[in-house]
Amino acid sequence: MRFRSRVLLPLVLALAAAGPALAAREWYDYYFQARDKDVPGRKWSDCVRNLRDALRLRPASGTNVRTYGMGLEDYLPYYYLGVCLQGEQENSAAIDAFNREEQQGAIKKTPLHADLLRRRAEAQNAENARITRQARGEVQRLLREAQELGRRRAWDESLPLLAQAEVLARELDVDTRRSVTQEQERQRAAQAEALETAARTRRLEQRLADGERLLGEGKATEAKVAFDDALQLEPRNAKGLEGRRAAEERIQASRTQADRRKALADGRSLFDAGQYEPALGPLTDACADPASAEGAEACDLLARARQVLEGLRQQKELRAEIDRLAAHGEELMAGGRFPEAQVAFERVLRLDKGHARARERLGEAERRTGEALFARWLPNREPTLALFPGEEVVDSPTISLQGVATDDRGIQKVEFRVGGREVGEFVPAATPAQPARSPWFVHELSLAPGVNAIEVTAVDSGGLTFSVSYSVRRKLRFHETRWFLPSAAAGALGLVGLGWGTHEARRRRAMRRRFNPYIAGAPVLDDDMFYGRERLTARMLSTLHRNSLMITGERRIGKTTFLHHLKHVLAGDEAGEWRFFPVFVDLQGVPEQSFFHALMAETVDALDLSPATRQALRFTPEPEGYDARDFGHDIQRVIAQLRTRTDRKVKLALLIDEVDVLNKYSESVNQRLRGIFMKSFSENLVAVMSGVGIRRRWKSEASPWYNFFDEIELLPFSREEAEALVREPVAGVFRWKPEAVERVLELSQLRPYLVQKLCVHAVNHMLEAGRSTIRREDVDAARGAALSEEATGAPLAAEAAVRPSVAN
């Protein structure tokens, strides 16, 4: 017994101590291990394994999730799974994990949402780089195989490989595209030369054989025609020369001078009638004696007839070859051999550039070739969505939902649901050749009182979907609640007197001071007087970190005003990963030789550079000798200092007005401007240019600078924006009659400059009449006053044939 107790007691104690270790682990044990130990320790494979175990036990994300005891934690497993997969360089899987986390919605309530967006963008960039490397490697492999097949003259195999390489190379660098194109052209030329040589050889052999056969049958004239055809193909062919000599001897021996004169007459008659082939026989007989006048004429007519017949023969063979290749291409398309079909239709178009069906089928073959290539080593991935939903609590009955959907193969549509019910969809403009890869959308949604569950779903061209959900609560405005009428009745009597007295005092003071807030002629620099363009501003903020923009529009439509407004918005933008440093530049009156000096002068004045940076610049107050190289050198120093002012990424934003001046500059200056946007520092440089229009004639082989810019046309106001510009500046002081507002909108055609101009004169006319209400008669009087100020004398009425010019 003593021995048994000595043995069992340690065993019992050991089992008791091992009890917690043998207990089943909970989801939070795996989650905390991954989040708190594996991620900081960069143990990526352990992290992925632990998070997958956590997800197996608890697949749904959440905030303030109960763990053990009374502990509450944010449970964001897909986010951390994406972090760990990103650490393992599994960027595609990381993107899927980030998308899944965002889809679940919990992370949007935490500060980690911004980090998710940043990491997902980094993973997307890394994945794009991987895809580019893979595509470049595939292009090089196809190119090597095609070159080897080309050396063996196996063009039917090599050209389809080059067609695949061409489709892949379109998304790669210029040198890769050029190497594929050059090899294609070289092999096409070699194939065409080989085919032409083979066809010539076959025809030569056929006509020699025909001549020998006809000569043996005693048909000397027909034999000479055949030998002449052969000698047209190979003038020194010994068999052809000997055959023609024998045929001519027989013709001369069997034909008298009178026979040859008759043959000439018959041949001439057939030639003049356009019967060239029947004319060959008699003209050949008559040409047997070329030394005579009749023989010389016959030989001349014979040569001309042969030339016409050769052209007709070539046209016939060309049409037959086009029809054969087109039919062959259709067979290849039906059989799913798209690269071979692409080669066939390309050959059709080289023979007949206007073949519409071949052009259409070539585009389809190229698309199907690309899809097959990408499907082979790049499976279709679900699209992504970035939304700009606005406030979570609103009191308006509608909201404007803005966002951008992105997919590598193209977005088919974006669907909108409220409360599980589909309320609309957005279908981007796209073609098979140009799919909509990143369409921007704006959609108006109606809201019911209370909480509205909104779901936005992007559908790509392959049918894959990605959804983002969030909630918006609509508060009832006071006048919509049941307490409104009793409260209004109780307070109305007390407020009417006070409000009337206050309003009257304010109105009298405004009339005495001749209050008139409208601005006409100069750009609107006061943000309180800036109306409209909200959607355009939001669109620019979402795209300006990626692309430069060019704003076009008719004269005096508000381009300068908008640039000034954009400058204020960019300078005050504290959200996002980019910090913008805007610089406004007016090119009006800037000569060509001072262009880059003017850009740098405004940059130096606007950014308050440090003395050390100013000292490092090549910029001096005098513009002589300052060129694009100096500008590029100085911009790098400016960007270097701007990086010291913020922890975010830096964007120097040049807001360049009156860009039409560039139309008068030489092409070399425009090329140097293009070069600026291709420098290494261009990642930190962006431009927004505005003007009526830019010259599109470009003689250089290089792409013009404006090809790097997204073009946006500044249009007249919407009716709502124009009406706000009329009413709001004087709201609470003066009152507009509805018919007066309508008259302003009619005469101005919703152009902001004319709205302001008419309002300025209408308010002045009202004040002169001693009234506080603006009537239609004031607007009609303002029309005349506005016309008298127009230098062009263009009619202002909406019904006029000539549209009015409008100002910035």
* Residues whose CB is less than 8 angstroms from the CB of residue 95 and which lie 6 or more positions away in sequence, other chains included: 82, 120, 123, 124, 127, 381, 384
Nearest to 653 by CA among 605, 705, 688: 688
Between residues 808 and 311, which one has the greater pLDDT? 311
Do 631 and 664 touch, CB atoms closer than 8 A? no
Average pLDDT over residues 20-49: 86
- The verdict on 29 and 60 lying in the same domain is yes
- The verdict on 709 and 726 lying in the same domain is no
Q: For residues 701-735, b (16+ Cβ closer than 10 Å) or e, as one string?
A: eeebbbebbeebebebbeeebbbbbbbebbeebbb
* Residues whose CB is less than 8 angstroms from the CB of residue 439 and which lie 6 or more positions away in sequence, other chains included: 404, 405, 411, 414, 426, 428, 430
DSSP string, 643-702: HTT-SSEEEEEEEEE-GGGGGGS-HHHHHHHHHHTTSGGGGGEEEEEEES-------SSS
101 has a pLDDT exceeding 50? yes
**549 occurs within a structural domain:** yes
Q: Is 806 helix (H, G, I), strand (E, B) or coil?
A: coil
Do 750 and 550 touch, CB atoms closer than 8 A? no
- The verdict on 353 and 429 lying in the same domain is no
Nearest to 158 by CA among 181, 137, 179, 187: 187
Average pLDDT over residues 702-728: 75
- The verdict on 106 and 81 lying in the same domain is yes
Task: Kindly report the CATH number assigned to the domain that includes residue 444.
Answer: 2.60.40.10
| Pick from 35-49, 322-336, 419-433, 442-456: least confident | 419-433
- The verdict on 628 and 702 lying in the same domain is yes
Between residues 145 and 375, which one has the greater pLDDT? 145
**155 occurs within a structural domain:** no
- The verdict on 538 and 676 lying in the same domain is yes
Instruction: Indicate the pLDDT class of residue 801, thresholds 50, 70 and 90.
Output: very low
Between residues 494 and 592, which one has the greater pLDDT? 592
**511 occurs within a structural domain:** no
* 591 CA to centre of own chain: 33
- The verdict on 730 and 776 lying in the same domain is yes
Instruction: Indicate the pLDDT class of residue 88, thresholds 50, 70 and 90.
Output: very high
| Pick from 47-51, 54-58, 657-661: least confident | 657-661
Among candidate residues 656, 687, 713, the one where a domain is terminated: 713
Range of 87-91, 216-220, 479-483 with top mean pLDDT: 87-91
**678 occurs within a structural domain:** yes
Q: Which domain holds residue 335?
A: 310-369
Residue 223 to residue 225: CA distance in whole angstroms: 5
Domain count, the chain: 6
**427 occurs within a structural domain:** yes
Note the residue count of the chain.
Answer: 808
Do 156 and 325 touch, CB atoms closer than 8 A? no
Instruction: Enter the pTM of the model.
Output: 0.43
> Cβ atoms within 10 A of the Cβ of 601, count?
18
Nearest to 52 by CA among 23, 20, 90: 90
Burial of 394 (0-12, 13-18, 19+ CB in 10 A): middle
Residue with tokens 């049409």: 319
Residue 405 to residue 414: CA distance in whole angstroms: 8
**507 occurs within a structural domain:** no
Do 208 and 268 touch, CB atoms closer than 8 A? no
Among candidate residues 42, 77, 110, the one where a domain is terminated: 110
CA distances from 578 to 212, 331, 600 (A): 85, 53, 22
- The verdict on 325 and 243 lying in the same domain is no
Q: What is the pLDDT of residue 794?
A: 41
Instruction: Indicate the pLDDT class of residue 506, thresholds 50, 70 and 90.
Output: low
210 has a pLDDT exceeding 50? yes
Q: Which residues pair with 688 in a beta bridge?
A: 549, 655
Q: Is 582 helix (H, G, I), strand (E, B) or coil?
A: strand
Instruction: Indicate the pLDDT class of residue 327, thresholds 50, 70 and 90.
Output: very high
- The verdict on 271 and 347 lying in the same domain is no
**Tokens coding 143:** 């190119």
Q: What is the pLDDT of residue 29?
A: 92
Q: What is the pLDDT of residues 294-308, one digit of tens each?
A: 778 888 888 888 888
**685 occurs within a structural domain:** yes
Beta strand pairing status for 62-66 and 72-75? antiparallel
Residue 386: its H or E element? strand 384-388
Q: Which residues pair with 456 in a beta bridge?
A: 416, 468
Residue 353 to residue 342: CA distance in whole angstroms: 15
**Tokens coding 408:** 């590598």
Average pLDDT over residues 101-122: 89
| Pick from 17-21, 47-51, 450-454: least confident | 17-21
Among candidate residues 713, 728, 759, the one where a domain is terminated: 713
Nearest to 716 by CA among 755, 748, 751: 751
804 has a pLDDT exceeding 50? no
Distance from the first to the final alpha carbon of the chain: 106
Q: What is the pLDDT of residues 555-585, one digit of tens each?
A: 777 778 877 878 887 877 776 778 888 888 8
* 632 CA to centre of own chain: 27
Do 690 and 661 touch, CB atoms closer than 8 A? no
Instruction: Indicate the pLDDT class of residue 526, thresholds 50, 70 and 90.
Output: low
Residue with tokens 């409360």: 419
**Tokens coding 342:** 């692409």
Do 796 and 787 touch, CB atoms closer than 8 A? yes
Q: C-alpha angle 712/714/719, rounded to 5°?
A: 135
Q: What is the pLDDT of residue 81?
A: 95
Q: Work out the percent of the chain whose per-residue pLDDT is above 70.
A: 83
Task: Kindly report the CATH number assigned to the domain that includes residue 99.
Answer: 1.25.40
CA distances from 334 to 330, 337, 360, 371, 502 (A): 6, 8, 15, 16, 82
Q: What is the pLDDT of residue 711?
A: 77
**Within 335-434, where are the H helices?**
338-351, 356-377
**497 occurs within a structural domain:** no
Sign of the CA dihedral with 687 first, then 690, 520, and 745 last:
negative
19 has a pLDDT exceeding 60? no
Q: What mean pLDDT value characterizes the chain? A: 80
Task: Kindly report the CATH number assigned to the domain that includes residue 577.
Answer: 3.40.50.300
Residue 92 to residue 191: CA distance in whole angstroms: 42
Residue 786 to residue 778: CA distance in whole angstroms: 12
Between residues 657 and 371, which one has the greater pLDDT? 657
Average pLDDT over residues 349-370: 86
| Pick from 193-197, 485-489, 736-740: least confident | 485-489
Q: Is 610 helix (H, G, I), strand (E, B) or coil?
A: coil
CA distances from 188 to 156, 345, 364 (A): 10, 13, 21
**Tokens coding 242:** 């000997």
Average pLDDT over residues 354-358: 88
DSSP one-letter code for 733: T
Secondary structure of 136-191 in HEC code, one letter for each residue: HHHHHHHHHHHHHHHHCCCHHHHHHHHHHHHHHHCCCCHHHHHHHHHHHHHHHHHH
Q: What is the pLDDT of residue 779?
A: 86
Beta strand pairing status for 465-474 and 450-460? antiparallel
Instruction: Indicate the pLDDT class of residue 629, thresholds 50, 70 and 90.
Output: confident
**Tokens coding 198:** 């083979």
**Tokens coding 496:** 């009417």
Residue 808 to residue 660: CA distance in whole angstroms: 14
Instruction: Indicate the pLDDT class of residue 219, thresholds 50, 70 and 90.
Output: confident
- The verdict on 354 and 390 lying in the same domain is no
766 has a pLDDT exceeding 90? no
- The verdict on 233 and 323 lying in the same domain is no
Instruction: Indicate the pLDDT class of residue 117, thresholds 50, 70 and 90.
Output: very high
Instruction: Indicate the pLDDT class of residue 112, thresholds 50, 70 and 90.
Output: very high
* Residues whose CB is less than 8 angstroms from the CB of residue 432 and which lie 6 or more positions away in sequence, other chains included: 363, 364, 367
795 has a pLDDT exceeding 50? no
**Edge-to-edge strands, sheet with 421-426:** 393-394, 465-474, 450-460, 411-418, 421-426
Residue 556 to residue 806: CA distance in whole angstroms: 4
Nearest 10 degrees: Cα torsion 673, 675, 679, 682 = 40
Burial of 340 (0-12, 13-18, 19+ CB in 10 A): buried
- The verdict on 410 and 471 lying in the same domain is yes
